[in-house]
Chain A
Amino acid sequence: MNSALEIAGTDTQIDVTSAGDGCKFLMTRYVRAAAHALAIGGVVLLGSCGGGGGGSHAPPPVGYTAGVYPVSSSVKNQCAAPIGAGSTATENNWLRSWTNELYLWYAEAPDLNPNNTATTAAYFDLMKTSAVTPSGQPKDKFHFTYPTATWEALSQSGVDVGYGAAWDIVGANVFVAYTDPNTVATTNGIVRGAQVITVDGVDLATVSTQAGVDVINAGLFPSALAQMHSFRIIDPGVTTPRGVTMTSANITAAPVQNAHVIPNTTVGYMLFNDHHATAEKALFDAVTQLKALNITDLVLDIRYNLGGYLDIASELAYMIADPALTAGKTFELTVFNDKHPTTDPVTGQPITPMGFHSNSLGFGATPPAGTALPNLGLTSVYVLTGPDTCSASESVINSLRGVGINVIQIGSTTCGKPYGFHPTDNCGTTYFSIQFKGVNQMVFGDYPDGFSPMNTSANAGVLVPGCSVADDLSHALGDPNEFRLAAALAYRTTPGTCPPATGAFKQMQIVGAPPSRADGTVPKSPWHQNRIYRH
């Protein structure tokens, strides 16, 4: 198992220049203080200017023979000026070999002459499969670059810049999906379902310029600490907006919230939002609490859980399931392309199945590593899902199904990301190209269109027993009247019954949708992106 933070490097100045449009971005790797802000700009500029460099005179072409690939390590770090004496073509050459060695679908990636694409960013964009999924979506939806300096930035686990409110963007409308306790948002009385009307004076309903959209994004997703922004919001249940001014801070997320027993039932509920390192203790405490209350069923709310540490997912799956079903079984096996059937090609470690962890791994100080995890001993579980249920969250669903747990899905189709990466730097850019997928005990991991409740109306992913139900921003999470939770409770009472299908497939764009029937996406403080809110 690799370490999350194996960081090495030397101070390196990266000058990314596009000769064509005069765009220029200068940053220093590992510089302190302002480096982060510069790198943020780099996201935009790398996208528009290309990851490779140019030069005042044309460098010689690299050798190219179709179907013949040099070993990637032999052509790595041959960077374009001014970092090195290489060129865009040499950087492309590394990408070509690296893709051929490690890309999960390397045989479907084109073999392109590195000399014939003007920028490394453009070349990388081409280095993936063009196939589509059964629903017609691109087979590879996860193909990214990041400035290495930004990728290597660190934070206290679960800490991010913001206000403590997760925004739910539904078309052109912005609502509050949930808040983290003891944050700027809760201090200002902001609760789930509140609708943002204006940001720094710009009205979301009437904004018509890119400058206005930029103002909205800057306010919703502050890029640094101590940024003050003003909002007008409408609280749930009222019609008159009120003004709120919030100052950005380092927010500590609460990965597990609201664990409790639904009144007058033996059904436990918990909201699980992030597979952070801090989630190990939070899950341990929540499951211990629910077990002590003798619950017979569990509703696991992962509608906003984008993933994180896979080991945390394994621990959670163990804590839910009957241990007789998980003992000695595979939680997830990592599968690389057919060139690497037995050894992880990046870490060099043997590929072995990850089991269901019955003891804590010691992500934090407590519980100490090796502590026996509590276990609910269930043979079925209700999961509340949405388009933000992604990656490690989907692994919980897939792994439990793989050992025969009856997973009942209430909500909308999940994101469809059974894939992972070993992000790799070359010349100051970190590349994310799908290199492995996770499969369960049944060797199943093909859900690129996500998991969908059985009665999903169209373009469903892998069908799972349950009900298609849109998010319900008019009720608190954990409220038995919240539509998804209510549907789960009704399904438990009368198995197989569902309300009329309302869940969305992927990102349903509903302009002007009332908050009681909304199914947007919840980008969590993606302040380093150039555009999140769009109009």
Chain B
Amino acid sequence: MNGFLWRFCTAAPIVLCACAAPPPIEPERPALLVAPNAQTQEELTYAISAIFNGVPVALANDALTTTSVLLIDRAPARDAAGRLLNGRDLGKPEHFQLVVSGTRCTLIHERSGQRSVLSTATCKPAP
């Protein structure tokens, strides 16, 4: 996807990006990002943020480079002494799975099934 289309996608609901994508040709396999750059990081961050109504998301620079599953939590919130506000958390993290089909990298939000094609990313099958 070229730069213009990416800018379009960033302004549109993520489902539009998914609908615009051609159907997979090859079976999807768990994948890792290969040498992600700043643009890839931005695209990945946006894809996740969009699923949660645009809330800010902090990712490590090496996200999805060593494992095909990305875990997303609330950012740690702490009290004035630096202690977690909610140190007895009854919830679970959100899971995202990166898959590759041919040269196309897709991020899937497991709970909702929402899919985002990462147009700037290069992926390889996870070992």
Contact = CB atoms under 8 A, between A and B. Distances in A.
Interface in A487-535: 507, 521-526, 528-532
Contacts of B54: 11, 30-32
Given A7-B53, A307-B88, A529 B73 contact: no
A36 B58 CA distance: 10
The number of chain A residues touching the other chain, given as a range, is 35 or more
Given A154-B48, A419-B88, A159 B53 contact: no
A519 to B, nearest CB: 14
A303 to B, nearest CB: 14
Interface stretch (B1-9, B13-21, B74-82, B115-123): B74-82
Contacts of A68: none
A9 B74 CA distance: 16
A155 B83 contact: no
Contacts of A30: 53-55
Contact of B49 (A10, A32, A528): A32
Contact of A150 (B61, B77, B81): B77
Contacts of A472: none
A65 interface: no
A155 B76 contact: yes
Interface residues of B, number: 43
Nearest to B111: A3
B77 A156 contact: no
Interface string B68-102: 11111111111111111111111111100000000
A144 B85 contact: yes
B107 to A, nearest CB: 13
A60 B31 CA distance: 60
A156 B71 CA distance: 6
Contacts of A275: 87, 89
Contacts of A390: 83-84, 87
Given A3-B111, A146-B85, A154 B92 contact: no
Contact of B84 (A151, A250, A307, A334): A307
B93 A363 contact: yes
A277 B84 contact: no
A530 B82 CA distance: 11
B53 A157 contact: no
B82 A526 contact: yes
A200 B53 CA distance: 38
Given A3-B111, A4-B93, A363 B71 contact: yes
Interface string B35-64: 000000000000011001111111111110
A251 B62 CA distance: 10
B89 A310 contact: yes
Contacts of A421: 85-86
Interface string A380-393: 00000000101111
A153 B78 contact: no
Interface in A9-54: 9-11, 30-33, 35-36
Contact of B87 (A7, A149, A161, A392): A392
B114 interface: no
B82 A154 contact: no
A8 interface: yes
A2 B73 CA distance: 13
Contacts of A1: 90-92
Contacts of B76: 155, 160, 524-525
B62 to A, nearest CB: 7
Interface string A170-208: 000000000000000000000000000000000000000
Contacts of A5: 52, 72-74, 91, 93-94
Nearest to A363: B93
Contact of B86 (A311, A432, A532): A432
Contacts of B59: 155-156, 159, 250
A361 B91 CA distance: 12
A36 B49 CA distance: 13
Closest 4 CB pairs of A and B: A523-B82, A391-B87, A307-B87, A4-B91
11 contacts: A157-B93, A250-B61, A275-B89, A306-B82, A307-B88, A308-B89, A393-B87, A417-B87, A420-B86, A524-B76, A532-B82
Given A33-B56, A415-B83, 9 more contacts: A153-B74, A155-B58, A156-B70, A156-B73, A160-B58, A250-B59, A311-B92, A365-B68, A525-B76
Interface of A: 1-5, 7-11, 30-33, 35-36, 142, 144, 146, 149-161, 249-252, 275-278, 306-311, 334, 361, 363-365, 388, 390-393, 395, 415, 417, 419-421, 423, 432, 438, 507, 521-526, 528-532
